[in-house]
């Protein structure tokens, strides 16, 4: 690729830096070690270009760079340091000299490192790649856990006895075939089973979705969802500890019903009438359970999705750290297990369009519950849903978290947060405007939200707010 001044200007016009494009001023020099680390990080993220002599903030003026006056010599040093070739071009732009490093992508199944550190970028920083990311890279080209066989050497009758094929066709809204061949053909077409020389093999995907009894599949049974109910707000006393028996798809309704049956009741007054309501609404439980099942890291052994029910909250967790940062759960989406997500969507269990978490946050706002808490623990992703709590009883972190989530939800809905909309979210009167302003100010100071630059007025009373990353 011949890099011209015109190409430099095209790159400069990009809305922001991407994983394939990095700008650095480097007017006089650029540290060799820093260069090696950037080349490794960019290669690990699919390759791209590192440009020296350009400011990294829009409108990205060219400042010119005097670094690396001998590109041939530097290319040789780079190869020795990182173990792969990086082409270096000097481009004489009318506004100054630009040095362009063309960095190739890493080979499939391989991650590059510099002095033992497997690097990637996180904003302006270079950070080590997570264990999950490395495992995913090293397994490229190999069958995923879901595609591996769970049991082999079966006859057609064995398949039908082990898998709940009737529910499978019901979930797809398809008539049940008139003969066994039709059933087997459909399972093969969905890649849930495969016909091999010595009979049929059921994949882990087929087993984890459709198993009548997960214990019939030893390498899959450990993925069964566990529901633990505690007495009170701590783990000190366990009331029950139950592990699911059916596959995720055929047992999903039963799982939701069981969790709902174990939730504590809250007494509320509605239209002057006392009534009992569950700690958390069913819609929230359903959406979060579906997310936990679909987005778990199947490669982590010896652990499964877990539902923990306390007197004042529900915690739903799944193995693996999230692909999308927790602060972007509302507006972002990326499936870790695409085929699993696709089938669960077609079964009507989830929607593969990032609407699940939106619904959870919307439900919390509608019912004026504390905002859900999205957390990461050791090799796990955790969502905490709290029961009803009056605004006066919410702590500062609860209020700021609710403010941020409300702001993101408004952004997703193509609206902007205001003092009024946040008062409505908390269910407080106009007289609480100053208190709400304090919450907004705290969220701004923490870098969670910011003033909408396109707002028509500078008045604090009519100020509008958007997420800090928007």
Kindly report, residue by residue over 19-45, the tens digit of the pLDDT.
789 999 999 999 999 999 999 999 999
The H or E element spanning position 196 is: strand 193-196
Domain count, the chain: 4
Report how far apart, in Å, the C-alpha atoms of 272 and of each of 261, 268, 380, 429 are: 26, 10, 43, 20
* pLDDT tens digits along 58-102: 889 999 999 999 999 999 999 999 999 999 999 999 999 999 999
334 lies in the same domain as 445: no
Please, what's the b/e burial string for 407-423 (b: 16 or more CB within 10 A of its CB; e: otherwise)?
bbbbbbeeebbbbebbb
354, part of any domain: no
3-state DSSP call for residue 56? coil
Statement to judge: residues 170 and 248 lie in one domain = no
Do 235 and 280 share a domain, yes or no?
yes
- In this structure, the answer to whether residues 133 and 104 fall within a common structural domain is yes
Last residue of a domain, one of 219, 234, 262: 219
pLDDT at 418 (0 to 100):
94
Of 108, 138, 168, the domain-final residue: 138
Residue 357 domain-assigned (yes or no): no
The 10s digit of each residue's pLDDT in 409-457 is: 999 999 989 999 999 999 999 999 999 999 999 999 999 999 988 777 6
- To the nearest whole percent, how much of the chain has pLDDT over 90? 74
303 and 211 housed in the same domain: no
pLDDT of residue 268: 56
- Cα separation, 186 vs 183, in Å, equals 5
Q: What are phi and psi of 181, to 5 degrees?
A: -60, -40
**Residue 269 sits in which domain range?**
226-343+376-384
C-alpha–C-alpha distance, residues 198 and 186, integer Å: 20
Report if residue 366 sits inside a domain: no
CB-based contact 106:43 (threshold 8 Å): yes
| Final residue of a structural domain among 172, 196, 219 | 219
- If asked whether residues 36 and 115 sit together in one domain, one would say yes
* Measured distance CA(256)–CA(319) in Å, rounded: 19
What pLDDT score does 267 carry?
60
Alpha-carbon gap, residue 273 to 270, rounded angstroms: 5
Is there a single domain that holds both residue 332 and residue 424?
no
| CB of 407 closer than 8 Å to CB of 467 | yes
Q: Is residue 152 part of a domain?
A: yes
In a domain, 367, yes or no: no
Per residue in 120-158, pLDDT (tens digit) is 988 778 999 988 788 888 878 777 899 999 999 999 999
- Say if 439 falls within a structural domain: yes
């Amino acid at each position: 690729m011949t890099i011209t001044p015109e190409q430099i200007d095209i790159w400069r016009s990009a809305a922001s830096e991407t994983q394939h494009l990095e700008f650095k001023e480097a007017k006089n020099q650029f540290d060799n070690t820093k260069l090696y680390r950037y080349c490794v990080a960019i290669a690990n993220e699919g390759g791209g270009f590192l440009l020296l002599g350009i400011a990294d903030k829009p409108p990205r003026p060219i400042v010119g760079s005097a670094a690396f006056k001998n590109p041939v010599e530097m290319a040789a040093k780079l190869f020795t340091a990182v173990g792969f070739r990086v082409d270096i071009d000097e481009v004489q732009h009318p506004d100054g000299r630009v040095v362009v490093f063309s960095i190739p992508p890493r080979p499939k199944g391989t991650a590059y490192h510099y002095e033992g550190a497997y690097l990637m970028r996180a904003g302006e920083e270079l950070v080590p790649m997570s264990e999950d990311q490395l495992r995913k890279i090293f397994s490229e080209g190999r069958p995923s856990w879901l595609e591996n066989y769970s049991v082999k050497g079966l006859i057609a009758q064995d398949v039908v006895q082990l898998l709940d094929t009737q529910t499978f066709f019901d979930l797809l809204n398809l008539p049940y075939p008139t003969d066994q061949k039709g059933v087997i053909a459909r399972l093969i077409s969905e890649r849930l089973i495969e016909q091999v020389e010595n009979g049929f093999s059921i994949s882990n995907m087929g087993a984890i979705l459709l198993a009548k009894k997960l214990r019939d599949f030893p390498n899959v049974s450990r993925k069964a969802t566990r529901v633990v109910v505690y007495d009170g707000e701590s783990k000190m006393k366990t009331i029950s500890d139950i592990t699911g028996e059916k596959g995720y798809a055929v047992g999903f309704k039963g799982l939701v019903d069981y969790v709902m049956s174990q939730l504590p009741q809250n007494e509320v007054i509605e239209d002057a009438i006392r009534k009992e309501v569950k700690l958390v609404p069913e819609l929230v439980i359903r959406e979060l359970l579906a997310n936990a099942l679909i987005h778990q890291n199947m490669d982590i052994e010896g652990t499964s999705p877990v539902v923990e029910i306390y007197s004042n909250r529900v915690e739903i967790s799944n193995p693996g750290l999230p692909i999308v940062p927790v602060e972007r759960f509302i507006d972002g989406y990326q499936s870790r297990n695409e085929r699993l997500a696709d089938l669960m969507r077609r079964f009507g269990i989830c929607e593969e369009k990032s609407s699940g978490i939106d619904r959870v946050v919307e439900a919390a706002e509608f019912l004026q519950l504390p905002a859900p808490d999205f957390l990461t623990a050791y090799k796990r992703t955790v969502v905490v849903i709290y029961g009803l709590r009056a605004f006066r009883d919410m702590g500062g972190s609860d209020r700021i978290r609710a403010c941020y989530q409300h702001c993101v939800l408004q952004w997703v809905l193509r609206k902007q947060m205001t003092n009024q909309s946040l008062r409505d979210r908390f269910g407080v009167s106009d007289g609480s405007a100053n208190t709400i302003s304090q919450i907004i100010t705290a969220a701004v100071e923490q870098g969670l939200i910011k003033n909408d630059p396109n707002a028509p007025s500078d008045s604090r009373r009519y100020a509008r707010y958007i997420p800090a990353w928007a």
